[in-house]
């Protein structure tokens, strides 16, 4: 991978956040982020263990915010444990659970504790989660959240326009994009809109259909959006043909080619049907191989600045994938 040019790096004061992710992107590295799912209880050791697995292999790791609308340990609190372990967090924040007051106060607190990155999301609808009777907030939407945080950082004011005493939090701002959701025609423009609102980086939905992603990226590049925002393509290892089917059929806005199911099926040829452990291992090995191949293909697409590896409840796969894809040797922090 390319070496950073120290001379090209701006002075610390000119930087937005002071974090690893921003530094890696500014230096022109192919950025790698992963995902750390907080526990459903308050077990700090669980977080520390996962953080140790990812540490050194990624520039930063997302911490999900009540993912799938199911209650988990707070993303900011989990992020603080990660910082203690030496893994830089990207705090995810949904518009579902907080109004603009709560968002701003939480971000001030997060910044005070050394958080450098924020990912702004709408959030899965609560009807899909474990508290379907909850009232959602949606005071502002994800693009408005991006714009609000950018103004806090760059103009030192709250959403209401009033000055933040001592200046705004220094956050590197991310947003999500789903190249496979509908209406397809609007998606590249929506990504550009996020860039215009002030997003510094974009992480995409899981990419399995590379030709479709390439088509999407071509439009993004034609719009020039890739010059304003660093785009990290989402990838993730499949665990089984069942998972591929589930993603394709049950997750709105997911494109998973059926050829991948066939590849996973082929991986267990010759293994006895009742040897569940051997089959699962074979599937997972093939899943990681597919993931590495996807990274290598995606890396060549114009406008892609990095990858975001989502290995849901399978953090151990991340170092192997990163190493096999030739992205890191495992010594960086």
The smaller minimum CB distance to other proteins, of residues 26 and 192, is found at: 192
The smaller minimum CB distance to other proteins, of residues 86 and 132, is found at: 132
The smaller minimum CB distance to other proteins, of residues 1 and 186, is found at: 186
Least gap, CB of 130 to other proteins (angstroms):
16
The smaller minimum CB distance to other proteins, of residues 136 and 332, is found at: 136
Least gap, CB of 317 to other proteins (angstroms):
23
Tell me how far CA of residue 152 lies from CA of 21, 139, 163, 171, in angstroms: 20, 17, 9, 9
Q: How far apart are CA 141 and CA 94, in angstroms?
A: 9
Least gap, CB of 291 to other proteins (angstroms):
21
Q: What residues contact 81, with CB distance under 8 A and at least 6 apart?
A: 44, 47, 48, 51
Closest CA to 142 of 84, 193, 81, 187: 193
Least gap, CB of 197 to other proteins (angstroms):
5
The smaller minimum CB distance to other proteins, of residues 55 and 150, is found at: 150
Least gap, CB of 95 to other proteins (angstroms):
7
Chain residues in the site for other proteins (CB under 8 A): 95-96, 100, 122-125, 127-128, 136, 138-144, 147-148, 159, 176-178, 181-183, 185-186, 189-190, 192-193, 196-197, 205, 252-253
The pair of structure tokens assigned to 269 is: 């040829």
Least gap, CB of 199 to other proteins (angstroms):
11
Which residue is associated with the tokens 């993303």?
A: 75
The smaller minimum CB distance to other proteins, of residues 61 and 148, is found at: 148
Q: How far apart are CA 199 and CA 270, in angstroms?
A: 49
3-state secondary structure 126-157: HHHCCCCCCCCCCCCCHHHHHHHHHHHHHCCE
Q: How far apart are CA 177 and CA 188, in angstroms?
A: 9
Sign of CA dihedral 212, 200, 203, 133: negative
Q: Phi and psi at residue 68, in whole multiples of 5°?
A: 60, 25
The smaller minimum CB distance to other proteins, of residues 73 and 199, is found at: 199
Which residue is associated with the tokens 């909850």?
A: 134
Least gap, CB of 181 to other proteins (angstroms):
5
DSSP assignment string, 39-107: PSS--HHHHHHHHHHHTTT-SEEEE-SSGGG---S-HHHHHHHHHHHT--EEEEEESSS--HHHHHHHH
The smaller minimum CB distance to other proteins, of residues 68 and 271, is found at: 68
Least gap, CB of 127 to other proteins (angstroms):
5
Q: How far apart are CA 63 and CA 320, in angstroms?
A: 20
The answer to whether 153 and 168 have CB atoms below 8 angstroms apart is yes
């Amino acid at each position: 991978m390319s070496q950073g040019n120290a001379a090209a790096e701006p002075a610390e004061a000119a930087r937005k956040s002071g974090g690893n992710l921003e530094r890696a992107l500014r230096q022109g590295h192919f950025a790698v982020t992963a995902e750390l799912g907080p526990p459903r209880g308050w077990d700090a050791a669980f977080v520390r263990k996962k953080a140790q697995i990812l540490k050194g292999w990624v520039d930063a790791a997302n911490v999900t915010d009540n993912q799938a609308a199911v209650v988990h340990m707070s993303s900011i609190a989990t992020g603080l444990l990660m910082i203690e372990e030496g893994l830089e967090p990207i705090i995810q924040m949904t518009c579902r659970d907080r109004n603009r007051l709560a968002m701003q106060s939480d971000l001030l607190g997060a910044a005070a504790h050394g958080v450098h990155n924020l990912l702004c999301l709408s959030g899965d609808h609560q009807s899909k989660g474990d508290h379907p009777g909850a009232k959602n907030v949606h005071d502002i939407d994800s693009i408005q959240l991006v714009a609000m945080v950018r103004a806090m950082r760059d103009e030192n004011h709250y959403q209401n326009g009033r000055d933040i005493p001592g200046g705004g939090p220094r956050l590197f701002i991310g947003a999500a994009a789903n190249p496979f959701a509908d209406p397809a025609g609007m998606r590249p423009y929506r990504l550009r809109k996020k860039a215009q609102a002030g997003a510094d980086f974009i992480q995409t939905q899981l990419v399995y259909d590379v030709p479709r992603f390439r088509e999407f990226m071509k439009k993004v590049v034609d719009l020039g959006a890739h010059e304003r925002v660093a785009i990290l393509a989402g990838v993730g290892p499949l665990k089984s043909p069942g998972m591929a089917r589930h993603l394709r059929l049950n997750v709105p806005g997911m494109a998973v080619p059926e050829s991948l199911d066939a590849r996973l099926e082929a991986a267990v040829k010759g293994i006895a049907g009742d040897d569940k452990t051997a089959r699962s291992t074979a599937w997972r090995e093939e899943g990681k191989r597919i993931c590495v191949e996807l990274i290598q293909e995606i890396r060549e697409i114009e406008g892609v600045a990095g990858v975001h590896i989502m290995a849901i409840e399978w953090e151990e796969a991340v170092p192997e994938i990163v190493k096999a894809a030739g992205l890191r040797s495992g010594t960086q922090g």
